[in-house]
Amino acid sequence: MFESERWPLVWTGFLLMAVSVRLAATVYDHRHRRLRAARRRSHLEWLPGLAGLIMVAGEVPRVLRAGDAVLTAADAIAGAAGAAVLALLLYGATVLVRRPRG
């Protein structure tokens, strides 16, 4: 029926997405409690969620033995999320390089 040895990857992906949502909520609360002027948002708290989306989108259709059209769509979603991860990593590197030292 289902391939049970792949379920841990699916649950790990869901947990990464939950961690990402929790990080985003914590960062949002922290930024609104500070008295100083708010800095620009970095959106790096969404990296675990995007990694989890790649895992879930790639594994769930395979675990459920979906058809070729669904697998193609899932691979497209995983590819888009992979591109977003790379873009966020590049943005994070740019933020670190441009951050004033001192």
Select the more confidently predicted residue: 27 or 33: 27
Residue with tokens 């990857």: 9
pTM score of the predicted model? 0.70
User: CA-to-CA distance for 78 and 75, rounded, in angstroms?
Assistant: 5
CA-wise closest residue to 46 among 97, 9, 92: 92
Would the pLDDT of 82 be above 80? yes
Phi, psi dihedrals of residue 64, rounded to the nearest 5°? -85, 0
pLDDT band at 72 (very low <50, low <70, confident <90, very high): very high
pLDDT band at 73 (very low <50, low <70, confident <90, very high): very high
pLDDT band at 83 (very low <50, low <70, confident <90, very high): very high
User: CA-to-CA distance for 21 and 46, rounded, in angstroms?
Assistant: 7
pLDDT of residue 28: 76
- 47 neighbors 89 (Cβ within 8 angstroms): yes
Mean pLDDT of 67-76: 92
- Of all residues in the chain, the percent with pLDDT exceeding 90 is 13
CA distances from 63 to 14, 30, 80 (A): 15, 39, 21
Token representation of residue 88: 């966020």
